């Protein structure tokens, strides 16, 4: 790997340096690329634009609904996790099950991007496809109270890098304008909603959308309280 120092405030028309923002380009040989795992770079917007191809490619993807299904699936307890029955006073084989009875106004989905083994610690770069409109969670709620459980995303936190270090960016929606923005340190730029879904998504923030009947009830209650 070879590089040459640049003079301070050097300007290039090629676009490598704009004003006082310095961008360093490294030309790696095939042998050097084998020594370093640069797979996490594939999700960086700047890298994608440059046409970088990482060693590891994204070969599988999951949906947010499939993740929820897996989170709520029945889990048989093994011999080392026997359940103590208070009636028969014995440890018995059992099944553990998580259920949702109600949902909050704000939901934050934490995608587990890090896996820990006895000897290895890895970053999971699997792409998780999540809806950017009308996330309907009603089928996961056991208490059917007629309330709307449709959600809209308003922010996404992204993580680039690995366990030893990395970089965070965010997408946030300006509700009044119905538009998305990309936040990368001090840089803020508009972005299309079709571009907010990447394999770097780490935290998903959703807000519940009130149904028309709920809004009518709230409006009626407010008018009565005022009168």
* pLDDT tens profile 88-105: 988 988 998 899 999 999
**What integer best gives the mean pLDDT of the chain?**
79
Residue 15 has pLDDT above 50, yes or no: no
Of 69, 70, 198, 190, the closest CA to residue 130 belongs to 198
Structural domains in the chain (count): 1
Q: What is the CATH number for 44?
A: 3.90.70.10
pLDDT, tens only, 168-191: 999 999 988 899 999 999 999 999
- Roughly how many angstroms between the first and final C-alpha of the chain, as a whole number? 76
**Does the residue 14 lie in any domain?**
no
The more confidently predicted of residues 102 and 60 is: 102
- Residue 39 is part of which domain span? 30-226
User: What's the predicted TM-score (pTM) here?
Assistant: 0.67
**Does the residue 68 lie in any domain?**
yes
Residue 38 pLDDT: 59
Residue 206 has a CB neighbour count (10 Å cut-off) of 23
The full 3-state SS of 152-213, as one line of letters, equals EEEEEEEEEECCCCEEEEEEEEECCCCEEEEEECCEEEEECHHHCCCCCEEEEEEEEECCHH
**Does the residue 24 lie in any domain?**
no
pLDDT band at 120 (very low <50, low <70, confident <90, very high): confident
**Does the residue 214 lie in any domain?**
yes
């Amino acid at each position: 790997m070879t590089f040459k120092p640049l003079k301070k405030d050097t300007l290039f028309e090629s676009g490598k340096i704009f004003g006082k923002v310095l961008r360093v380009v490294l030309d790696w040989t095939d042998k050097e690329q084998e020594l370093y795992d640069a797979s996490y770079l594939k999700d960086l917007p700047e890298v994608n634009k440059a046409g970088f191809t990482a060693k590891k490619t994204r070969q599988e993807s999951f949906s947010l609904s499939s993740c929820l299904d897996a989170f709520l699936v029945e889990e048989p307890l093994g011999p080392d996790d026997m359940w103590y029955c208070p009636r028969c006073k014995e440890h018995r084989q059992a099944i553990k099950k998580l259920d949702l009875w109600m949902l909050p106004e704000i939901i934050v989905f934490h995608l587990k991007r890090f896996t820990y083994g006895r000897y290895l610690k890895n970053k999971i770069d699997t792409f998780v496809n999540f809806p950017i409109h009308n996330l309907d969670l009603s089928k996961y709620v056991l208490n059917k109270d007629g309330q709307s459980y449709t959600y809209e995303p308003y922010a996404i936190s992204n993580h680039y890098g690995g366990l030893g270090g990395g970089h965070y960016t965010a997408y946030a929606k300006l509700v009044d304008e119905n538009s998305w923005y990309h936040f990368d340190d001090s840089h803020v730029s508009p972005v299309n909603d079709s571009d907010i879904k990447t394999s770097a998504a780490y935290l998903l923030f959703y807000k519940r959308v009130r149904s028309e009947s709920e809004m009518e009830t709230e409006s009626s209650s407010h008018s009565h309280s005022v009168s």
